[in-house]
Amino acid sequence: MEYTDKAIGIDFGGTSIKMGIVLGKQIVAELPSINPKHHPEPKDLIRAIADQVKVAREDHDDIRAIGCGVPGFVHTPTGTIHNLTNVPGWTDIPLQALLSEATGLPCVVENDANAMGIAEWKLGAGQHFKHLICLTLGTGVGGAVIVNNQIIRGAHYVAGELGQTSIHYAGRLGAYNNAGALEDYIGNNEFAADSQAAYKEAGIEKDIEDCTPAAMDALASHGDEIAIACWDDFAKKLACAIANCCWILNPEAIVIGGGISKAGDTLFVPLRKHVLEQLSGPFKDHLKILPAKFGNEAGIIGCATLALESIED
């Protein structure tokens, strides 16, 4: 496959909006990031984005489209944002139309976890799979579901919220007062707090900063038994949600990205064990559980890919 056209991918985060010019699988140029808090009004923020697009096109006259991934619910056929998590004021905003008008370029708007999933599926660790689940592990847990070579959006375009699936019908109450949401067990902050509690139970006082996923990875890699047990517990909980996706959809592969996936074998060895323990033959015999290929740039690359595909249709 040859890549000739470029697109701008935008990763719209609550504290930073990252932008890059994408050609094929690569970000060939990063644009300065924008702090959304400096532009509390959507129209001002869209203006700031459009200004950067204009500057970028002076150096790159082959930018054909813009893709924007946002942390929230999107009506994807029109690119209208229902609302964003942790970004106040972004309710019922027709971002696709406004951004297209402000830049003169075709735009698409997509949920950020779907954007990351699309990057992995089209260009990354999930390439060549027709039935694929992508998970992004961080402060929250996001997901993207690919079935029969299509990303699944569902009746109201909000499918793939794997972080809200329950691993305990009477468990912790989550963001929507729902019981046992995966995110409330394996989100970065919850993992740190549970790890801190595990040390405390063993009579060891640790600051929460010493219980981050990175710190716990280092401890486990050096043979710390409490840390190893904490990762096993993490893997068991994540495996429950993954196995549920497998019973329901019988995918070929699971791709796992986001910060915690950097723990490598510390995570993937117990995770594979627990997932396979939960499944029967045809659900597990050929199942692949893979780390994501792209890191922080997955959102930008996924959106740009989607934007270019939309103008090819």
Applying CB under 8 A, which residues contact its own copies?
Answer: 73, 82, 130-131, 143, 145, 147-148, 150, 152-162, 164-170, 175-180, 236-237, 239-240, 243-245, 247-252, 277-280, 282-283, 285-286
The residue among 15 and 250 lying less far from its own copies, judged by its C-beta, is 250
Return all residues near 68 (Cβ < 8 A) that are at least 6 apart: 9, 10, 12, 95, 96, 99, 107, 108, 109, 110, 303
The residue among 29 and 276 lying less far from its own copies, judged by its C-beta, is 276
The residue among 4 and 148 lying less far from its own copies, judged by its C-beta, is 148
Place of tokens 């075709």: 106
Report residue 244: phi and psi, to 5°: -60, -45
- Distances, alpha carbon 39 to alpha carbons 36, 97, 146, in Å: 5, 19, 35
Minimum separation from the CB atom of position 148 to its own copies (A): 7
The residue among 131 and 262 lying less far from its own copies, judged by its C-beta, is 131
Minimum separation from the CB atom of position 254 to its own copies (A): 12
Query: Could you tell me the maximum CA-CA distance found in the chain, to the nearest angstrom?
Result: 62
Minimum separation from the CB atom of position 136 to its own copies (A): 15
The residue among 66 and 167 lying less far from its own copies, judged by its C-beta, is 167
Handedness of CA 109, 113, 116, 122 (dihedral sign): negative
Minimum separation from the CB atom of position 58 to its own copies (A): 40
The residue among 63 and 234 lying less far from its own copies, judged by its C-beta, is 234
Minimum separation from the CB atom of position 180 to its own copies (A): 7
Minimum separation from the CB atom of position 184 to its own copies (A): 12
Q: Are 82 and 75 in contact (CB under 8 A)?
A: yes
- C-alpha torsion 292→31→304→41, nearest 10: 110
Handedness of CA 46, 47, 48, 49 (dihedral sign): positive
> How many Cα neighbours within 13 Å face the side chain of 261?
21
The residue among 168 and 262 lying less far from its own copies, judged by its C-beta, is 168
Minimum separation from the CB atom of position 83 to its own copies (A): 9
Q: Which helix (H) or strand (E) holds 32?
A: strand 26-34
The three-class DSSP label of residue 51 is helix
Q: Are 93 and 36 in contact (CB under 8 A)?
A: no
